[in-house]
Amino acid sequence: FRFCVVQVITIGRHVKGYHYIIANLGFVDGDLSKIQYGGANVSGFQIVDFDDPLVAKFDQRWEALEEKEYPGADSKIRYTSALTYDAVQVMTEAFRYLHKQRIDISRRGNNGDCLANPAVPWAQGLEIERALKQVRVEGLTGNIQFDQNGRRVNYSVNIMELKNSGPVKIGYWTEADKMAVTNPEVLQNDSLGMENKTVIVTTILEAPYVMLKKNADLFVDNERYEGYCVDLAAEIAKHCGFKYQLKIVGDGKYGARDAETKIWNGMVGELVYGKADIAVAPLTITLVREEVIDFSKPFMSLGISIMIKKPQKSKPGVFSFLDPLAYEIWMCIVFAYIGVSVVLFLVSRFSPYEWHTEEYEDGQIQTSESTNEFGIFNSLWFSLGAFMRQGCDISPRSLSGRIVGGVWWFFTLIIISSYTANLAAFLTVERMVSPIESAEDLAKQTEIAYGTLDSGSTKEFFRRSKIALFDKMWTYMKSAEPSVFVKTTAEGVLRVRKSKGKYAYLLESTMNEYIEQRKPCDTMKVGGNLDSKGYGIATPKGSSLRTPVNLAVLKLSEQGVLDKLKNKWWYDKGECGAKDSGSKEKTSALSLSNVAGVFYILVGGLGLAMLVALIEFCYKSRAEAKRMKMTFTDAMRSKARLSITGSTGENGRVMTPDFPKAVHAVPYVRPSMGMNVSMTDLS
């Protein structure tokens, strides 16, 4: 019998949907505790009625015996022993009857010979057989009497049913009445005595769901624990009206079925094999688990998420003031600046309205020349001034030039406004650059390893998934060396923290969010959830606790108790502050590193200006030396004196620089002469 029970449990066929009939007459003799809570319908027969006064009296005498002298005296008598006892009693009554009839039953001088041919029977055998058939006594197995064929008649056998409360008599069987059900309500309700029974609640040590108190040694039983599920179990027990005892699962696992032995481990195994009545823990509702146990409505919704080590916050770089616009935009702005300047130069050259006449006197000769202020350098200067929102001392005169200037002003208005709007955020916020943002990022790289809990729903999700992305991730995880699977969530978190960003842990989002709020605050959740699922309270198949527990969960959800419990254990007790909350002091002031690039550009610009000025000084001195037919050194000395004092030479004549404007010669007619065209160079 014990071997059969073990085999049934091993293949997982002791759950709801299976019916077993134990084919012996001692239903209560075997150990049924292993399949008592599995949900399977187990029936059997019991020939020894322990409620019978004769049996009760025998039990008292049996239990009074010394166990050393009478092995088995410490337990109730088995049905085989009871049948043996009754058989001896029948023989005693038969021989007593023969003795009263003065029938000699001795074998003296009347030995039978079974080996003779033909066999020689014992002469008194027929008398003994006749005496046995006439015996009628009350034994431990009930009424004992036989018919003419020697078969036992007029006896009854109790019909038993295995319930959560233990073996229960539901009726009896007799030869005359056949099967008679005397306790039909037991077939419909197996909650007999639940109010007076202590419910075993299996759970797992997992923060913040179930944790040992700091001074747990000072407490006993349920008072030693605290956490979300501890409070939830208390609320459910209060609504359902039963006493309970928390029991930490021995192997520290949630529950998965071994692929070879088909045996369930963890909390699921505790329920399947009758070691617990209910599981209040972060136990994910899955199809394979639902096949062997029952779940309540979800008390918490969640999904698989990615945990990585929080990257160090990167301070703004030297040229972080360029970050508000992408480098592609800056390149486009440079090309636009050059293009606008060239277009402005061209339209100013070809538009006759951009040229104007400037009159001046040169001794006795009076000339009139057309000038154009938008040479290539002035065009570049105008475009740069407009982009910097500073303007310059020249502006287009022609309509075409003003159109170019107008669209350039509109362009710079939008660009500068957009840049200014984003500048503060990029300079004041210390950003974290995450190497992983989604499951796709994990799957397409091999530098960062990733794994799950070795025995749980997350691993099962990847193993059974048909989605190409998740299947690719599962192929990597199961073949990775060293193994990327961890035995506990705490081990997975520790591995993330010590891997220096080279390991990502896949776990439920609720646990990820909780750990993110715990010191040393060096982990973070990235990306969205990979799936959507829920935690449920589990009970064995067919358990009477399923309905009241389910109703209790719904009631707690409607009353907002579940939300209060989550806020209490996730955020009210957080150690890292609110998520993404920055310090106002840090964002209100800029450090030198934030704007160092601006100072570098300023210093670089000043240096470039000094260098250009030196080049201009040398170039002009060389040109002046050639024109005045003097040495280069004297020319530089003269220019230096002009730069310092504003005069050159002993005569004090001021030498003004000669930078001709772009001019366009027009015909000039003297009043007393005919037409005479004088041309000047274009520059």
Q: Are residues 601 and 570 in the same domain?
A: no
User: When comparing pLDDT for 635 and 155, which is higher?
Assistant: 155
Instruction: Give residue 585's pLDDT.
Output: 42
CA quadruple 41, 44, 48, 50: dihedral, nearest 10: 10
Quick one: angle between helices 125-134 and 79-100, nearest 10?
120
457 marked ligand binding residue? yes
Q: Using CA atoms, how far apart are residues 248 and 399, in angstroms rounded to an integer?
A: 87
Handedness of CA 381, 383, 385, 390 (dihedral sign): positive
CATH number of the domain that residue 47 is part of: 3.40.50
Q: Are residues 379 and 520 in the same domain?
A: no
% of the chain surpassing 90 pLDDT = 20
Q: Which string of b and e fits 19-56 if b means at least 16 CB within 10 Å?
A: ebebeebbbbbbebebbbbbbbebebbbbbbeeeeebe
Which tokens sit at 95?
A: 């021989």
Q: Please give the single-letter amino acid code of residue 651.
A: N
Instruction: Give residue 665's pLDDT.
Output: 42
Task: Taking residues 144-171, report their average pLDDT.
Answer: 88
The helix or strand, by DSSP H or E, that contains position 10, with its residue range, turns out to be helix 2-10
Q: Is the pLDDT of residue 682 over 50?
A: no
Q: Are residues 205 and 143 in the same domain?
A: no
User: When comparing pLDDT for 146 and 648, which is higher?
Assistant: 146
Instruction: Give residue 216's pLDDT.
Output: 79
Please check whether residue 222 lies inside any domain of the structure. yes
DSSP for 455-497? SSHHHHHHHH--SHHHHHHHHHHHH-SS---BSSHHHHHHHHH
Task: Taking residues 25-50, report their average pLDDT.
Answer: 82
Q: Are residues 474 and 539 in the same domain?
A: no
The secondary structure of the chain in percent helix, strand, coil, rounded to multiples of 5, reads 40, 20, 40
End-of-domain residue from the set 428, 451, 470: 428
Please check whether residue 133 lies inside any domain of the structure. yes
513 marked ligand binding residue? no
Instruction: Give residue 659's pLDDT.
Output: 42
List, for residues 335-373, the tens digit of each pLDDT value: 998 998 888 888 888 877 777 766 555 544 444 567 778
Please check whether residue 663 lies inside any domain of the structure. no
Q: Please give the single-letter amino acid code of residue 648.
A: T
Please check whether residue 111 lies inside any domain of the structure. no
Instruction: Give residue 292's pLDDT.
Output: 86
Please check whether residue 637 lies inside any domain of the structure. no
pLDDT, the chain, mean: 80
List, for residues 60-87, the tens digit of each pLDDT value: 888 888 878 888 777 888 889 899 999 9
Q: Please give the single-letter amino acid code of residue 206.
A: E
Please check whether residue 682 lies inside any domain of the structure. no
Q: Are residues 378 and 481 in the same domain?
A: no
Task: Taking residues 178-189, report their average pLDDT.
Answer: 72
- Contacts of residue 284, defined as CB under 8 A and 6 or more positions apart, other chains included, come to 254, 456, 457, 458, 508, 533, 534, 535, 536
Tell me the range of 55-69, 71-85, 298-312, 431-445 where mean pLDDT is highest: 298-312
Instruction: Give residue 582's pLDDT.
Output: 42
Task: Taking residues 575-591, report their average pLDDT.
Answer: 56
Please check whether residue 275 lies inside any domain of the structure. yes
465 marked ligand binding residue? no
User: When comparing pLDDT for 455 and 137, which is higher?
Assistant: 137
Please identify which residue in the block is written with the tokens 């085989």: 80
Task: Taking residues 548-571, report their average pLDDT.
Answer: 92
Q: How many CB atoms lie within 10 A of CB 399?
A: 12
- Contacts of residue 366, defined as CB under 8 A and 6 or more positions apart, other chains included, come to 359, 360
458 marked ligand binding residue? yes
List, for residues 246-255, the tens digit of each pLDDT value: 999 988 899 8
Per-residue pLDDT band for 535 (boundaries 50, 70, 90) equals very high
Write out the residue range of the structural domain in which residue 43 sits: 1-104+124-190
Q: Are residues 161 and 296 in the same domain?
A: no
Q: Are residues 1 and 42 in the same domain?
A: yes
CATH number of the domain that residue 484 is part of: 3.40.190.10
510 marked ligand binding residue? no
Half-sphere exposure of 576 (CA within 13 A, CB side): 17
Q: Is the pLDDT of residue 226 over 90?
A: yes
Tell me the range of 122-131, 247-256, 393-402, 575-584 where mean pLDDT is highest: 247-256
* Cα–chain center distance at 173: 57
Rg (CA), the chain: 51
Q: Is the pLDDT of residue 504 over 90?
A: yes
End-of-domain residue from the set 610, 632, 654: 632
Q: Report helix, strand or coil for 62.
A: helix
**How many residues does the structure list for the chain?**
683
Q: Are residues 290 and 392 in the same domain?
A: no
List, for residues 462-495, the tens digit of each pLDDT value: 998 999 999 999 999 999 888 999 988 889 999 9
Q: Are residues 39 and 158 in the same domain?
A: yes
Task: Taking residues 648-662, report their average pLDDT.
Answer: 45
% of the chain surpassing 70 pLDDT = 83
End-of-domain residue from the set 542, 575, 608: 575
Task: Taking residues 92-120, report their average pLDDT.
Answer: 73
Q: Which string of b and e fits 337-371 if b means at least 16 CB within 10 Å?
A: beebbebbbbbbbebeebbeeeeeeeeeeeeebee
* Pair 427, 590: CB distance under 8 Å: yes
Q: Are residues 404 and 346 in the same domain?
A: yes
- Contacts of residue 592, defined as CB under 8 A and 6 or more positions apart, other chains included, come to none
User: When comparing pLDDT for 441 and 583, which is higher?
Assistant: 441
Domain count, the chain: 5
- Going across the sheet that includes 304-309, the strands are 449-451, 503-508, 304-309, 523-526
Instruction: Give residue 188's pLDDT.
Output: 56
Q: Are residues 404 and 327 in the same domain?
A: yes
CATH number of the domain that residue 402 is part of: 1.10.287.70
**Best CA proximity match to 433, nearest among 578, 589, 596, 308:** 308
Q: Is the pLDDT of residue 143 over 80?
A: yes
Which tokens sit at 362?
A: 């040169």
Class of residue 501 by CB neighbours under 10 A (exposed 0-12, middle 13-18, buried 19+): middle
- Alpha helices, H only, 629-666: 632-645
**Best CA proximity match to 383, nearest among 328, 347, 344:** 344
Please identify which residue in the block is written with the tokens 């639902």: 290
Task: Taking residues 307-333, report their average pLDDT.
Answer: 81
Q: Using CA atoms, how far apart are residues 411 and 387, in angstroms rounded to an integer?
A: 9
Q: Is the pLDDT of residue 305 over 90?
A: yes
Q: Using CA atoms, how far apart are residues 610 and 617, in angstroms rounded to an integer?
A: 10
**Best CA proximity match to 221, nearest among 191, 198, 238, 241:** 198
User: When comparing pLDDT for 280 and 7, which is higher?
Assistant: 280
Instruction: Give residue 590's pLDDT.
Output: 64
The helix or strand, by DSSP H or E, that contains position 428, with its residue range, turns out to be helix 399-428
Instruction: Give residue 625's pLDDT.
Output: 83
Please check whether residue 155 lies inside any domain of the structure. yes
Total-model pTM: 0.51
Instruction: Give residue 45's pLDDT.
Output: 92
Task: Taking residues 621-649, report their average pLDDT.
Answer: 75
**Best CA proximity match to 169, nearest among 144, 189, 193, 186:** 186
Q: Are residues 81 and 181 in the same domain?
A: yes
User: When comparing pLDDT for 197 and 621, which is higher?
Assistant: 621
175 marked ligand binding residue? no
